[in-house]
């Protein structure tokens, strides 16, 4: 399962999606997240799904790469659906003792689970098509206006990007430690939940040690390169909006207007 977590991974390419300004992709993802909660009909969700499919096709991502981002969280998605099935009031379709499944619960459960899936897919689409360095520049540029009120834009962007970048690294380290422990007779797949949690302790200690060591090495490397924050820093490639960014903005605005119309209709 650890190898299926794709958050933070970058898939190199030269597609039109890869070439978009990172600020455009960040704002588009935030806009998309708003539209996910705006959708309330099968047609609206179909449009949002179609947007993801078209985006993945334009980015030339392998068919199963995006779907892998859902696999590690399928239990949470399924649990969300089941909780709505048995807790939301409405027309009763099935009942057994204290368990009751309602029509409204099924509809809301499917909607909430689909929202989680769409949020995961659009986030993965952004990280797959944006390198961590470029993503840092985009976040910093968007936060720069808030520096006037004391927000450390560069430091926040750097911390978020480092955290995102080290997710795959820590997962690989965890997988390596688990395999080493299993070769010595450790069992992580049998027993009840408490026993499995207890068996995870030999993994956590070396993982924490490895994490602190990597953090120390990263700090030393940054100091050796005279890193002193964002003040006075220059960039090899300046961020510039292009025609593709303008087109993406128009598409997102049109999509938002369409979903707003499907939800509320024409204003009186």
**pLDDT > 90 in the chain, percent:** 25
Name the pTM for this structure: 0.78
Contacts of 251 (CB under 8 A, 6+ apart): none
Average pLDDT, the chain: 83
Q: Residue 11: pLDDT band by 50, 70, 90 thresholds?
A: confident
User: How many Å apart are CA 76 and CA 253, to the nearest integer?
Assistant: 31
Q: What is the pLDDT of residue 268?
A: 43
| Of 61-70, 116-125, 242-251, the least confident | 61-70
pLDDT confidence of residue 8: 60
Segment among 91-100, 101-110, 130-139 with least mean pLDDT? 91-100
**What's residue 4's pLDDT?**
54
At residue 264, does pLDDT exceed 50? yes
Region 138-167: mean pLDDT is 82
Question: Looking at the predicted structure, is the pLDDT value of residue 2 above 60?
Answer: no
* Predicted confidence (pLDDT) at residue 137 exceeds the cutoff of 60: yes
pLDDT of residue 19: 92
The pLDDT of 39-54, averaged and rounded, is 92
Run of H or E including 196 = helix 193-199
Q: Is the pLDDT of residue 133 over 70?
A: yes
- Give the residue, 175 or 197, on which the prediction is more confident: 175
pLDDT of residue 156: 84
In the predicted model, what is the mean pLDDT of residues 123-142?
86
- What is the per-residue pLDDT for 237? 72
């Amino acid at each position: 399962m650890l190898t299926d977590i794709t958050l933070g991974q970058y898939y190199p390419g030269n597609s039109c999606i890869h070439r978009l300004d990172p600020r455009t992709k960040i704002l588009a993802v935030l806009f998309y997240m708003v539209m996910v909660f705006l959708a309330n009909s099968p047609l609206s969700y179909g449009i949002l799904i179609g947007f993801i499919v078209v985006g993945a096709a334009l980015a030339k991502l392998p068919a199963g790469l995006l779907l892998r981002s859902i696999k590690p969280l399928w239990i949470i998605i399924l649990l969300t659906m089941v909780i709505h099935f048995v807790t939301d009031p409405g027309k009763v379709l099935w009942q057994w003792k204290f368990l009751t499944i309602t029509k409204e619960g099924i509809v809301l459960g499917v909607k909430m689970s689909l929202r989680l899936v769409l949020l995961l897919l659009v986030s993965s689409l952004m990280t797959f098509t944006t390198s961590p360095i470029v993503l840092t520049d985009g976040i910093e540029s968007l936060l720069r206006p808030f520096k006037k009120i004391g927000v450390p834009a560069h430091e926040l962007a750097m911390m978020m990007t480092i955290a995102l970048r080290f997710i795959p690294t820590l997962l690989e380290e965890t997988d390596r430690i688990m395999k080493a422990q299993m070769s010595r007779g450790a069992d992580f797949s049998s027993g009840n939940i408490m026993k499995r949690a207890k068996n995870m302790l030999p993994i956590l200690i070396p993982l924490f040690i490895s994490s602190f060591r990597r953090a120390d090495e990263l700090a030393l490397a940054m100091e050796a390169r005279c890193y002193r924050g964002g003040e006075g820093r220059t960039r090899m490639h300046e961020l510039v909006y292009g025609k593709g960014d303008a087109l993406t903005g128009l598409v997102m605005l049109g999509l938002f207007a369409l979903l707003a119309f499907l939800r509320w209709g024409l204003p009186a």
